[in-house]
């Protein structure tokens, strides 16, 4: 078994209405593998999920330094669309900076709209929650419809049912 205790993953959530399973299932999986998990959002304090879960925010998106992370994971949920986080300059910059640093850029559910709008899915195979399909395709992605898709350093997941497979794919890419 590969020692992953030197790895750190930044998980990025909306302040309100992130998809609980898409944060908590991968986060627990990563931590069981010895990976350090840092949680970011737009503001400090506590973020709340659409199913009532909550998580303390370790760093704001604008203060996140991608040189400290091996992967950046954008968690989905309805707030990606309702709060238009896929257009938020801080979220887009974080995705671009992570890609430029050679980190894994990962997104699940509607979170895939963030790297799509940052130009990172153009020419790549990717998946997204079905309501985001046309958006990522307009941004140049080839929609696979698979639960999880890896294309180089980009890993995307379809939704909450794919959360465990998504986490396993990220860990495998870090090994």
Domain boundaries, the chain: 8-174
Residue 1 has a pLDDT of 60
Q: What is the dihedral of CA 21, 72, 146, 113, to 10 degrees?
A: 90
pTM of the model: 0.97
pLDDT tens figures, 65-84:
999 999 999 999 999 999 99
In the chain, the percentage of residues whose pLDDT exceeds 90 is 97
CATH of domain 8-174: 3.40.50.880
Which residues make Cβ contacts (< 8 Å) with residue 32, sequence separation at least 6? none
pLDDT tens figures, 93-136:
999 999 999 999 999 999 999 999 999 999 999 999 999 999 99
Which residues make Cβ contacts (< 8 Å) with residue 12, sequence separation at least 6? 39, 40, 41, 61, 64, 72, 73, 74, 75, 91, 94, 111
Contact 108, 73 (CB under 8 A): yes
């Amino acid at each position: 078994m590969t020692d992953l205790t030197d790895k750190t993953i930044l998980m990025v959530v909306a302040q309100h209405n992130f998809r609980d399973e898409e944060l908590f299932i991968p986060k627990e999986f990563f931590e069981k593998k010895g990976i350090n998990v840092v949680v970011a959002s737009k503001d400090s304090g506590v973020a709340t999920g659409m199913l009532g879960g909550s998580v303390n925010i370790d760093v704001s998106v604008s203060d996140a330094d991608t040189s400290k992370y091996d992967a950046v994971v954008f968690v989905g949920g309805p707030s990606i669309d309702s709060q238009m986080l896929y257009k938020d300059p801080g979220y887009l910059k974080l995705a671009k900076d992570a890609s430029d640093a050679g980190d894994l850029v990962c997104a699940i559910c509607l979170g895939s709209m963030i790297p799509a709008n940052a130009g990172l899915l153009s020419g790549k195979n990717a998946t997204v929650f079905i309501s985001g399909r046309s958006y990522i395709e307009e941004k140049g992605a080839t929609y696979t419809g698979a639960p999880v898709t890896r294309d180089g350093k980009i890993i995307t997941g379809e939704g909450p049912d794919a959360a465990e497979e998504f986490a396993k794919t990220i860990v495998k890419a870090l090994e």
